[in-house]
Structure 1
Amino acid sequence: MKAYFGYFVVIFVFVCHASADDETVDCTKPPRFVPPHMCCPVPDVSTDELKEQCAEYNKPPPPPPMGRGGPPKFDRRHHPHHTPPCVIDCIFNNTEVMGANGEPDVDKFSALLDTAVKDNEEMAAVMEESFESCVGMLSELKAKMAEKASKHPEFADRMGNCSPVSGMLMMCVNIETFKNCPASAWNDSTECNATRNFFKQCKFPKDGN
């Protein structure tokens, strides 16, 4: 099963139209969409056992009500590689990647990778480094998500009783892994390279504007 990337959500939440260090990258113009798993097939972290344990959460959330903006833009039915955030929350809780204190555990995530990504040591190493980087950014990511949730309360409603932190953290891991994808797994195409350059160069601002 291929990993998910909340590509559109990533653009909306984490990427800002800021200036880039590389003048060849225009951060005001995202590149043409290409499914990230077609560029870098990051493995899923759920094993068959974990999928069974978290099966009750493996269903798409109800779509938000129709508003003036028309139908929902992020319907999972149109993005089959997205794993529901409640499944990620369940997996991280069951494996203690997310501790009882609500803090992520790097060693537990490493142990999860040893089981779920055991056939790809190179990719697992990049994912572990990505997790460590994302843990370091967690406070900033939480603040960014809280800001977006305050402006779009329907996001919180769609989460139900699940914590969004695990899903947000896993999304970050996938973004960082995508940016640092091993050459052996990377699709060296013009579209994929343009997308990766955009993610590497265009940063969201520290002040949240």
Structure 2
Amino acid sequence: MLSRSQLLLLVVGFCLNAAVSADVDCSKRPPFVNPKTCCPMPDFVTAELKEKCAKFDMAPPPPTDGDASGSFESKRRHHHPHPPPCFFSCIFNETGIYQNRNLDEDKLKSYLQVIFKDSTDLQTTATEAFTTCATKVAEFEANLPPRPGPSPPPGFPICPHDAGHLMGCVFRNLMKNCPDSIRNDSQQCTDMKEFFTKCKPPRGPPPSGEDM
């Protein structure tokens, strides 16, 4: 049985740990670290699929007006760009994983067993991420007001945004819930994870935002 002094030390230690974990200054973004450094994993898209969908692998240029270019949102997108929706529409159509806003769990499982063949932990985490995010994207889009979306820049095809939203959500989910077996626990990675886990962006679409 613990003595009174030992019990006191445990309580103090717990309180200090809680204070440290809660002490995240959301006004100060930590130095940027490539997410793949903190959660090293194979590319989700195979070389064969990249070649098939190469013509869709384009992202619109960042905003150039003064307000947008200096905003938190523009910096967040610079470091964590939203995946090109047409590119991932192509990827999902080729694999059959996600079509017409429906997730095919059997095809997802087969694909994850190939690309993440060395980590069953990663397969499980990715499956949970896709399932959670597909539901959230569907809920988000069902609540969108009935209005036309912005026109794409000249030269860009018109594609539904749900594929890009889904992949953005899945990527962030994987970074937050990176399996212990592959996670990098360096101080930089820990600071980055705590910031994006506890600090909400001032604005931005929910499917690729902090709640996912």
Aligned ranges 1:51-66 → 2 under 5 Å: 51-58=50-57, 60-63=58-61, 66=64
Instruction: Answer 1 or 2: higher relative contact order, Cα 8 Å, separation at least 6.
Output: 1
Letter in structure 2 aligned against 1:89 = S
Deviation (angstroms), 1:172: 0.8
Q: Which segments of structure 1 move beyond 3 Å, counting only runs of 4 or more?
A: 26-30, 64-74, 78-85, 139-144, 202-205
Once superposed, what is the RMSD of the aligned Cα atoms? 3.7
Structure with bigger helix share is 2
Task: Indicate the residue corresponding to 2:84 in structure 1.
Answer: 84
Deviation (angstroms), 1:25: 2.5
Deviation (angstroms), 1:45: 2.0
Instruction: Kindly tell me the number of residue pairs found equivalent between the two proteins.
Output: 177
Q: Counterparts of 1:65 and 1:134 in 2: how far apart (Å)?
A: 27
1:42·1:178 contact (CA, 8 Å) conserved in 2? no
Q: Answer with 1 or 2: which has the greater Rg.
A: 2
2:59·2:83 contact (CA, 8 Å) conserved in 1? no
Change (3 A) 1:67 1:29: closer
Structure 2 unpaired stretches of 5+:
1-20, 207-212
Change (3 A) 1:194 1:54: same
Q: Secondary structure at the match of 2:98?
A: coil
Q: Counterparts of 1:185 and 1:81 in 2: how far apart (Å)?
A: 23
Q: Secondary structure at the match of 1:108?
A: helix
The percent of aligned pairs where both chains have the same amino acid is: 39
1:67 matched to 2:62: no
Structure 1 unpaired stretches of 5+:
1-21
Task: Indicate the residue corresponding to 2:15 in structure 1.
Answer: none
Q: Counterparts of 1:81 and 1:61 in 2: how far apart (Å)?
A: 9
1:45·1:112 contact (CA, 8 Å) conserved in 2? no
Change (3 A) 1:23 1:131: same
Deviation string, structure 1 residues 137-181 (Cα, Å, up to 9, x no partner): 22344379x68x98x94xx51563222211111111111111111
Deviation (angstroms), 1:27: 3.5
Change (3 A) 1:115 1:64: same
2:42·2:116 contact (CA, 8 Å) conserved in 1? yes
Q: Secondary structure at the match of 2:30?
A: coil
Letter in structure 1 aligned against 2:86 = C
TM-score (norm 1): 0.67
Q: Secondary structure at the match of 1:198?
A: helix
Change (3 A) 1:141 1:196: farther
Task: Indicate the residue corresponding to 1:110 in structure 2.
Answer: 109
TM-score (norm 2): 0.66
